[in-house]
Amino acid sequence: MKGFELYAFGSIVRGEIDALSDVDILAIITDSSIVNIEFRSDWSVYSKDNIASYFRDGKLFAWHLYLESKCIFSDADTDFLMSLGRPNDYTESKDDIAGFIEMIKDCFVSIENKDSSLIYEIGLLAVCIRDIAMCASWSLCDKPVFSRVAPFLLPINSPVSLVLYNEMYKARFSNTRGVFCDIRIYENLIKDIDKNLIFSWANDILVAL
């Protein structure tokens, strides 16, 4: 089959894969005339033009792919990502972090109003904390960090302990993997999540950038 390329990226390429890791697969459509290929729902699927624009715009995802991807299928002599070269510098960290702070605010509003699943919102909180740290790592670390434990690799202390963070992260799997999560665990867990500490941490990061 032709017209697309497949890449593994993330923890499996870094060699950090464990029970909490996803196996991240990127499909790049290289032939725009192809319209009838169905990919797995848990794969990231982009056109080559989308990916090329991310590299030109210096998106953090482009840097993730540049630093931590490996081509696992291509019908061309040279894979597409390699042909793009180095992405432009990432300059949107403050805007991206501000967006994640707004998402965190929405999570706590939903939790307080019981508008949504508690497990879903706690999982989303963990992802937002992770993504804020990834954005900040561009400026605060020696190199961009895309690890799940990025919040613990910054020079600013994480707002949650590693044990609490891992429990929060497990909640994400109730949606992404259909894994059963006992709601009673998370009804107790939410008591240990300090909203003010999370906002203070995020704001300290913004000041440090």
The CATH code of the domain at 4-84 is 3.30.460.10
Domain ranges across the chain: 4-84, 93-208
Task: Determine whether 50 is exposed, middle or buried from the number of CB atoms within 10 Å of its CB (0-12, 13-18, 19+).
Answer: exposed
What residue type is 160 in one-letter code?
Answer: V
Residue 3's pLDDT is what? Answer: 86
- What are the DSSP calls for 118-139, one per residue? HHHHHHHHHHHHHHHHHHHHHH
Among 37, 90, 23, 107, CA closest to 46: 37
Alpha-carbon distance of 72 to 83, in angstroms, equals: 15
Q: What is the pLDDT of residue 180?
A: 62
Which residues of the chain fall below pLDDT 50?
none
> Residue 142's pLDDT is what?
95
**Coil, strand or helix at 31:** coil
pLDDT of residue 176: 61
Q: What is the pLDDT of residues 53-94, one digit of tens each?
A: 999 999 999 999 999 999 999 887 778 999 999 999 999 999
Of 9, 24, 117, 1, nearest in space to 63 by CA: 9
